[in-house]
Amino acid sequence: MKEFLCDAVTLSILGVFLFNCISLVNAENATESSELCFPTSIGFKDEWPFHIDHGYLPDSQDIVNPVFELYGLGKDQPFTLDYRNLNTTPDSIPFDSESPTKFIIHGFGNSLNDSVWITDMRKALQENGDFNIVLVGWDTSFPSYVQAVCNSRVVARLTVSVIEMLQEKGLHLYDLHLIGHSLGAHVSSYVGRLMNSNIGRITGLDPAGPWFDTFGVGARLDPSDAKYVDVIHSNGDFLNFYGGFGLLKQCGHVDFYPNGGKKQPGCTDGVGGGSETLLGSFFSGTTEDVEEAVLSAIGCSHGRAYEIFIESIKLAGSCEFRAFPCSSYEDFLDGRCIDCGAEGCNRAGFHASPELQGGKQFLLTHSSSPLCSKSVRVTIIPSEIANKLIGTIVLLLKGTNGEDLLTLVYNTDIHMQPRTPWRVVKPLSKDIGDIESGVITYTRRGFFDRIKLRISGLSVDDMHNGKRYITKSRFRFKSRQPVRLDLLKL
């Protein structure tokens, strides 16, 4: 993890230079292709859709040197699969043909030795099911992100060789699940295509964005790569001073966008975020673990995708990352998308299902572990006379299991039209059970705001169990005067 985050600093700084100096994939400027062949007769051409100017081609397999570690059911020590000598792999390897198989493939700057999240995911899988697990490690060290992009095809081809060997041991492709983070998501894509899209499932965890945001579907993760492709977007934006390491565009049968998919709560991100963290530590006099804090800040949102996936394994049964289909994040926050239809709401992470709602999905999470949250939609209906409020509205919800304070609007203009529902979606910090009552408070901003807004109705929708709570009381918004509400369950 540290290696990726360190490299991300330099990558952010050089991002604009790289994009200006190196031609990206473009069918119109494709030139005569060249080819590079390795001792195993793996040939790669730089023709469309992989045309890259300045002569970038994949390194040889000896330079890329991927590592494949097989963990059998309940095993804590791996069996190394040597891609150079797969024909001599013994029959006694710890592989159970009756159990599903998971491949975990990391991205740029990660390694099997230093990336804690890979171990955490592997252990979470082992503790929650019977799986054969293969960790795929490869050299993605900086400074050549461009070379790593090219080398991803080498990793994919050698991964296919390992899969074909495991097929001889009884592996069924419909039981195969590739889980790839960043560049690893696109490696999974190439593997899927080389296996004629017969793999059961591919999960893309914030697929890498730089370069790939201009690639066509033939050179990046796409729904056609497997029977089912699910994607979590956590840092999807153009590469900039504050991150943007992921891909925002849809590239699966279902695409989950936690907190909008660009930036995650609790994260600062990129060189800007790392600098802010460093300065904050300096002025506060906190120097202990400052390096770790700065590095964590840089790639925080990009790594949130695998954190969500890991938690979705661990929290199964207690909290699910339920998502809601919507055309945009803005519409979702405005409470226009709380119905999942007849197919039912899908779940981001391990329990995503092709039998549930597909397409573009949104959800809210907490800023730190546990990330999984339950959300509510609050609806306020003004009376005939409505005004523009300027200030903050907070709602204290009290339930059978506790209470939670929601900030509906903070220090901003609030436009409410007469008899027109005003809605907002907010996450609960904890499960408060069935809602029984609430206290709503409006605090004006500025001395001259004397507004007294009449409210004819208020309701709270629990977006995770479908329950609705309403108040039959009419009340007024008057600054700094709390209003107690009895909420009845419909």
> Which of 61-65, 319-323, 407-411, 417-421 has maximum average pLDDT?
319-323
Strand partners, 30: none
Whether 233 contacts 308, CB under 8 Å: no
Query: Rounded distance, CA 375 to CA 431, Å?
Result: 10
Place of tokens 């004819």: 456
- Which residues, 6 or more positions from 397, have their beta carbon under 8 angstroms from its beta carbon? 376, 403, 404, 405, 406, 428, 432, 435, 438, 460, 487
Q: For 182-216, how does the pLDDT look when each residue is reduced to its tens digit (9 = 90+)?
A: 999 999 999 999 999 999 999 999 999 988 888 88
Domains of the chain plus CATH, in order, are 2-363 (3.40.50.1820), 374-489 (2.60.60.20)
DSSP string computed for 108-138: TT--TTT-HHHHHHHHHHHHTS--EEEEEE-
Catalytic residue annotation: 182, 206, 302
Whether 424 contacts 459, CB under 8 Å: no
pLDDT confidence tier of residue 20, bands split at 50, 70 and 90: very low
Q: What is the pLDDT of residue 365?
A: 97
pLDDT confidence tier of residue 441, bands split at 50, 70 and 90: very high
Maximum pairwise Cα distance, the chain: 83
Is it the case that residue 2 has pLDDT exceeding 90?
no
The answer for 341, left when phi > 0, alpha when psi is -120 to 50, beta otherwise, is left
| The overall pTM is greater than 0.85 | yes
Q: For 147-167, how does the pLDDT look when each residue is reduced to its tens digit (9 = 90+)?
A: 888 899 999 999 999 999 999
> Which of 80-89, 136-145, 395-404 has maximum average pLDDT?
395-404
Q: What is the pLDDT of residue 452?
A: 67
Q: For 28-72, how does the pLDDT look when each residue is reduced to its tens digit (9 = 90+)?
A: 333 334 444 443 445 566 555 565 534 567 888 888 899 999 999
- What is the average per-residue pLDDT within 76-105? 93
pLDDT confidence tier of residue 451, bands split at 50, 70 and 90: low
Q: For the chain, what percent of residues have pLDDT higher than 70?
A: 79
Query: Rounded distance, CA 227 to CA 202, Å?
Result: 8
